Amino acid sequence: MKQYSQMNKDELNALKNELDGAFVKYKEAGRSLNMTRGVPSDDQLALCNDMLTCLNANDYKAANGADCRNYGGLDGLPEVKKIFADLLELTADEVIVGGNSSLALMFDNVSVNVSHGVRDGKPWATQGKIKFLCPSPGYDRHFTICNYFHIDMIPIAMGEDGPDMDEIEKMVAADPLIKGIWCVPKYSNPTGIVYSDETIRRFAKLKPAASDFRIYWDNAYAIHDLGETKKILNIIRLCEEAGNPNMVYVFSSFSKVSFAGASMTCMASSKSNCEYIKQRLTAQTIGPDKLNHLRHARFFKDAASVIAHMEKHAQILRPKFKLVSDMLNSKLGGLGIGAWTEPKGGYFVSFDSLDGLAKRIVALCAGAGVALTPAGATYPNGQDPKDSNIRIAPTFPPLAELEAAMEIFCSAVKLASVEKYLA
């Protein structure tokens, strides 16, 4: 396999003609393939269909006697608090179980810290132009929350073991306007890397200049292993030990465990933080949908069953991730025109093209009927400084569609790269 950088102009032109021809055919095929978001497939959703019917006119009460049809309860049914607590290795009073959107828990948490401040803190809004550190590439909807609240975002480079901790330690110690950092510690969105023990320990031991600095630890893929179960260190316990008991908010979700749009989600933190948050919840809501909590309790029973259930998801997802990996390796391997990750879990594969080509590749794919996450979306303000990162979301399409989409994607990478070398 000859690297593109070694090809002469004739070779490149020949390749370009060939690829242009391929794209004519792709367009003629009139495909409409969607790889934009990390969405579970129909097969995965069907795994929980029994949840649709697991309650009935004789079963709507929680173990504590609560009628789940009626009002009452703010922080989740005890049954599901226990499931989350067991999965996250926490106690029930460190856990608040909410509705179907962990994004909503994060948004609300930032919102209240802006308007009211963290427990015993001053409102962030009154402290000047505050900033969040944003390990990048990262999750676009975290960045959208910062944008909404006019919070400046500082990109932090991501490595194999997590974000650049030297940089983070230095910055939070120096600048009291840095109030937060977004983290997806396990199967990070989109790179799929897992924070190392060393990284997590360093997070817990941060010495921020701002006493109201908070880590937003979005453990969205806590149990979403494709193969062997991987455990990451318990950030809440480590923060406690390091004398930073209130520094971290953990978020977790069943969106990719049960039904993506109708699941339950969780926020975990120190008991003191949880108490403070519950004061707000009293003013904010009548509480989460307890019937949906009860459905989850009935269907999943306990944390061990949840883990067993995740293996069923993995069986569906493994061939998809393997297909993506196989095609990237066979079509692009050795060409020197891209690098990609081979994650052991989560929902994404991250692809880095030659500099300056991500937008072009996404546009080529769009023209051929393959929708990808917009280039740049994985960076704060949609600005990928190298214009090279593309998030591939292989979970939703059936295998045959995924194969068609990946063929077009690989051709788009080739064509954009040829164009670059010819320019």
- Count CB-CB contacts under 10 A for residue 132: 23
Token pair in block for residue 175: 């600048």
- Residue of the chain from 259, 321, 347, 379 that contacts a copy of itself (CB under 8 A): 259
Closest CB to a copy of itself among 112 and 307?
A: 112
Q: Following DSSP, what letter does each residue of 222-261 receive, concatenated?
A: TT-BSSS------HHHHHHHTT-TTSEEEEEESTTTS-TT
Q: Which residue has the tokens 């199967």?
A: 187
Q: How many residues are present in the chain?
A: 423
Binding to a copy of itself by residue 119, rule CB under 8 A?
A: no
40 binds a copy of itself (CB under 8 A): yes
Q: Rule CB under 8 A: choose which of 56, 128, 129, 166 binds a copy of itself.
A: 56
Three-state SS at 191? coil
Label residue 350 exposed, middle or buried (CB < 10 Å: 0-12, 13-18, 19+): buried
Name which position in 7, 12, 22, 45 contacts a copy of itself (CB under 8 A). Answer: 45
CB 409 within 8 A of CB 362: no
CA 194 – CA 75 distance, rounded (Å): 29
- For residue 388 the two structure tokens come to 């090279």
Of the pair 10, 42, the CB lying nearest a copy of itself is at 42
In the complex, least distance from residue 346 CB atom to a copy of itself, rounded to whole angstroms: 16
- Number of residues lying near a copy of itself (CB under 8 A): 56
CA distance 332 to 3: 10
What is the C-alpha separation between 107 and 373, in angstroms, rounded? 22
Site string for a copy of itself, 10-39 (x = CB under 8 A): ---------------------------x-x
The two three-digit tokens of residue 268, written as one number = 């975990």
Chosen residue from 76, 99, 135, 376 binding a copy of itself by CB under 8 A: 99
Among 148, 157, 367, 398, binds a copy of itself (CB under 8 A): 148
Single residue of 8, 9, 30, 42 touching a copy of itself by CB under 8 A: 42
Of the pair 235, 260, the CB lying nearest a copy of itself is at: 260
Asked if 260 touches a copy of itself (CB under 8 A), the answer is yes
d(CA 375, CA 250): 28
Segment contacting a copy of itself by CB under 8 A, of 46-54, 236-244, 303-311, 351-359 = 46-54
Q: What residues make contact with a copy of itself under the rule CB under 8 A? A: 37, 39-40, 42, 45-46, 48-50, 52-53, 55-57, 60, 67-73, 99-101, 103-104, 107-108, 111, 114-115, 125, 141, 144-145, 147-149, 255, 259-262, 280, 282-292
